[in-house]
Amino acid sequence: MSPNSSKKNLNKHTYDKDEYFIARALNLAKKGQGLTSPNPAVGAVVVKNGIIVGEGFHEKAGQPHAEVIALNNAGKDAEGGTIYVTLEPCSHFGKTPPCVHKIKESGIKRVVSAIKDPNPLVSGKGLEYLLNNGIEVKDGVLSKEANRINEIFFKYITTGMPFITVKEAVTLDGNLGYKTDTEKVYISSPKSLEYTHYIRFINDAVMISAKTLIKDDPSLDVRINKSDMKEKFLKKRWTKIVLDSYLNTPPNSKIFKSHGDVLIFASNDYDEAKVKRKKQLEEKGAIIADVYYNIKEGKKLLNLEYVFKKCGELKITGILAEAGPELFSSLIKEKFCDKLIFNVTPYILGRKNGLDLFGLINFEFNEKINFSDLTVKKIKDDVFLSYYPEFA
């Protein structure tokens, strides 16, 4: 038995044991969020006679999967037991062998899975293999919770496009800050900022506009006051994306001094001065991707569909967009938003001095976008509201 095993016998309790152990596996999976891309975050728990004999989670792409770690921790105690896993075990050879083979070899008699793997290489084949080898299978336990943990992976593996989270810090009257700020003014509390950086961490990239970059000169890194998180971030693949049609990004920007790649999307029309700016930015290490632009409401705007397709090709699976009013308007109106997070702060700035987040969204009469599946996180007087859009 693993030295980290729980010796608490759970057979005497009346709650759903399958849900209990899947919930534990889901908590383990969360430890891998932000570190496993382009793989899913997965947790596994091995149980025998109501006692946990092994557990583990997938820590990084290319390293052992959760099931293998849990079974190795369990050793011989796995024989005749049940393995609880947050995602259908894989049945294909990738950087590691199929987990279903390890499960069969270990003598596991029952597999409980939270959700099927939508990866076309798996997609039910793992459970089918287990059934064909005499192993009892149960699927769909806490599937909604499991889907949320891997929403980034599920979108990417089924569409090739990144999961886009749009996050905004707003006052009670919908302002991002003051119109005339000459330097960055935080309306969020320090604890809320730290939580925002955690949201960054579980994504592969953060996206802003050139206007925001020039105004605020952000580092676009992840700053969480835990030494282990800092260390994990510095080992993580990280991309700072700037939408900059005219390549006005200053070469001395802080983004060139912080961890991660700098990816700048620019319009594909060049004059001599812009060619010179491109060379300067490439010398600083920037990756420049040229994009066709769309003319909307009299403005030249980068083709966001191409932008996100290119990100998908680069295996950027999840993007956190921290948008100003113009980019926010484009993302919402063009339906490039899989999740919307508002950090609502306890201030009112008014229309005269406030920078209105919603001012560029002009709907027709009776036009609206519905949002659902609200989750709420309270941090002192700040509130985080997370929604999923229901685009028509």
Q: Where is the binding site for NADP(+), in residues?
A: 169, 212, 216, 245, 324-330
How many Cα neighbours within 13 Å face the side chain of 23?
6
Binding residues: 65, 90, 99, 169, 200, 212, 216, 220, 223, 245, 322, 324-330
H/E stretch holding 275 reads helix 272-283
Distance CA 263, CA 67 (A): 35
Does the annotation mark 67 as catalytic?
yes
Q: Is 302 helix (H, G, I), strand (E, B) or coil?
A: strand
Q: How far is CA 35 from CA 42, 166, 232, 317, in A?
A: 11, 20, 8, 12
- Neighbour-count burial for 283-294, b at 16+ CB within 10 Å, e otherwise: eeebebbebebe
Indicate which residue of 55, 67, 88, 168 is catalytic. 67
Q: What value, to the nearest 5°, has the Cα angle with vertex 52 and ends 46 and 55? A: 50
User: Which of 187, 193, 108 minimizes the C-alpha distance to 357?
Assistant: 187
Backbone angles phi, psi at 206, to 5 degrees: -120, 145
Binding-site residues from annotation for Zn(2+):
65, 90, 99
Q: Return binding residues for substrate.
A: 200, 220, 223, 322
Q: Are 93 and 126 in contact (CB under 8 A)?
A: no
Q: 160 — alpha (psi -120 to 50), left (phi > 0) or beta?
A: left
DSSP characters for 116-185? Answer: ----TTTTTHHHHHHHHTT-EEEE-TTHHHHHHHTHHHHHHHHHSS-EEEEEEEEETTSEEEETT-SS--
List the catalytic residues. 67
